Amino acid sequence: MTPIRVLIVDDHPILRAGLLGLLASQEEFTVVGEAANGREAVALVRHACPDVVLIDLRMPEMDGVSAIRAMRALAPDLHMLVLTTYDSDADILRAVEAGATGYLLKETPREELFAAIRATARGQSVLSPSVASRLVNRTRDTIERALSAREIEVLQLVALGTSNKLIARDLAISEATVKTHLLHVFAKLNVDDRTAAVTTAAARGIIRL
């Protein structure tokens, strides 16, 4: 099997050395370069041709997010796996939006890191559990903000099995307005009917069953 070519990008020499030794112990990986900042990483990508870039976020000269964006522009098919100590919502979202394939914390056990690199090389998205949880919560919060209070109110009544006619009576609005609210809910939740809307909203904690 052809080894996975890995580029290590981190401004801490000891950490780079540790990762180099760790990956060198596995025949399935070949480290094709090291970079101490984003600018060096972008330059190395031009000729090292890595399959996976293992990159930190906070670095001098050019940070990880800027480097990810620049490397993505140079090599659209390149897979980049963030390995960092930072797990704030802002850091995660900036990295993912810039084009990171995965996001792991440096506390990740070695076997999980190896598995993550293999998955990243295949183009699969890899997220540490805490990062995945943050993204799910962020998505749910975004959806909750996207749905108006009235739309959530209507959807909650739908979940109780209330007909459009009774919803209109209870909320003192017309049936046409109820239908309009539901159409907006369907669009925002990306569903096609009442049952799917209720199921999706309940799964995301927007309404209670």
If DSSP states are collapsed to H, E and C, what string results for 108-153? Answer: CCHHHHHHHHHHHHCCCCEECHHHHHHHHHHHHHHHHHHCCHHHHH
Q: Can you list the domains of the chain with their CATH numbers?
A: 4-138 (3.40.50.2300), 147-203 (1.10.10.10)
Question: pLDDT tens across 120-133, in order?
Answer: 999 888 887 767 66
- The series of mean pLDDT values per 10 residues for the chain, 209 residues long, is 94 95 95 96 93 94 93 91 83 84 90 94 83 63 74 94 94 93 89 88 82
Question: pLDDT tens across 69-99, in order?
Answer: 999 999 988 999 999 888 777 788 788 888 8
155: which 2 tokens? 């959807």
Q: Tell me, what DSSP letter sits at residue 77? A: T
Q: Do 57 and 97 meet the contact criterion of CB atoms below 8 Å apart? A: no
Measured distance between the N- and C-terminal CA atoms of the chain, rounded to whole angstroms: 51
pTM reported for the whole predicted model: 0.66
User: Could you give phi then psi for residue 155, rounded to 5 degrees?
Assistant: -65, -35
**So what's the pLDDT on residue 42?**
95
